[in-house]
Amino acid sequence: MKGGAQFNTMGFDRVIRKNITALAGIKLKIGIQKGATATGGGLVAEYAAANNFGTKNGRIPSRPFMTYSSDRIADWMETAAFYEVVNGVIAGRFTADMAAKIIGDRAVNITKKTIKDSALYKPNTEYTLNIKRKKKQGDKPLLASESLFRNVKFVRVM
């Protein structure tokens, strides 16, 4: 008679595969979404692009907040906090949809924090500062009307 023990996963490996597959299929789009409107009206996407890439006339210098944000989000995705979410899905504590919301909310918060981090960006020009002073908007880049900040959202891409 042969000795030894036998381990029966009773389908646990199938459940893990299913949960990982569900999570792997999720795609999120973080940033200023199409159709977002500014405080005074108008679309935010053009304003966001002008600030992110700068303008040809040089009035708005490049302030690549989306690049900085995506780098910071990628860094967060290598932390224990991110893997805790992934492991929660694998273990069945979270659904893939719950994980997508947790990850999306965290990415939005990282992006908003990056927009507010004025030390990353070239200061406003005197021209812009004069306009901001008249409107009592402060002197920090990217925060004149807070339209960028308020309109950072995530959407799940299907």
Phi, psi of 56 (to 5 degrees): -65, -35
Tell me the pLDDT of the chain averaged across its residues.
83
How far apart (Å, rounded) are the C-alpha atoms in residues 96 and 123? 41
Residue 59 tokens, joined: 């009035």
Q: Which amino acid is at 55?
A: T
The larger pLDDT score, comparing residue 25 to residue 110, is at 110
Each domain of the chain, given as residue ranges in start order, spans 30-157
Residue in the block written with tokens 């036998």:
6
Strands (DSSP E) contained in the chain are: 27-32, 152-157
Q: Which band of pLDDT confidence, cut at 50, 70 and 90, is reported for residue 80?
A: very high
